[in-house]
């Protein structure tokens, strides 16, 4: 469902929305890795799975295509944020926090 109708329905039905944003570079690397290696399990629970992931390398685009790929997730999250405000939906955004991209510290941003 598109963010607009979903946010409108959530606001009308007093439903809270929680969405998490990811580092765009991390997201691009992960998406590329799994697109080029569909046999990889997206969630590892064994040492063998971890080793399979570590052995994979990805080649990312450069220049304009790289910048466009890094902006795409941010553009989507901007739409979600705008729609939450527009429909006065109770939306909670969770962002990775701290200087370490994999940090478990999160900041919570509440809309509206």
Distance from the Cα of residue 73 to its chain's centroid: 7
- Angstrom distance (rounded) from CA 16 to CA 11: 8
Distance from the Cα of residue 14 to its chain's centroid: 24
Condensed to tens digits (0 to 9), the pLDDT of residues 29-48 reads 988 998 999 998 888 889 99
pLDDT at residue 111, rounded to an integer: 55
* pLDDT > 90 in the chain, percent: 19
pTM equals 0.61
Condensed to tens digits (0 to 9), the pLDDT of residues 13-33 reads 888 888 777 788 888 998 899
Q: What sign does the CA torsion over 28, 31, 35, 38 have?
A: positive
2-11, 39-48, 99-108: which range is least confident on average?
A: 99-108
Query: What tokens appear for 28 in the block?
Result: 């691009």
Where does the chain show beta strands of DSSP type E? 16-20, 90-96, 106-111
Structural domain boundaries in the chain: 3-37+49-111
């Amino acid at each position: 469902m598109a963010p607009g109708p979903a946010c409108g329905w959530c606001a009308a039905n007093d439903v809270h929305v929680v969405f998490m944003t990811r580092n765009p570079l991390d997201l691009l690397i992960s998406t590329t890795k799994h697109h080029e290696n569909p046999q990889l399990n997206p969630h590892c629970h064994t040492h063998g799975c971890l080793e399979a992931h570590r052995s994979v390398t990805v080649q990312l685009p450069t220049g304009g295509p790289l910048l466009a790929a890094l902006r795409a997730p941010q553009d989507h999250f901007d739409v979600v944020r705008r729609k939450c405000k527009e429909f006065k939906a109770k939306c909670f955004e969770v962002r990775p926090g701290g200087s370490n991209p994999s940090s478990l510290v999160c900041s919570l941003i509440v809309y509206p």
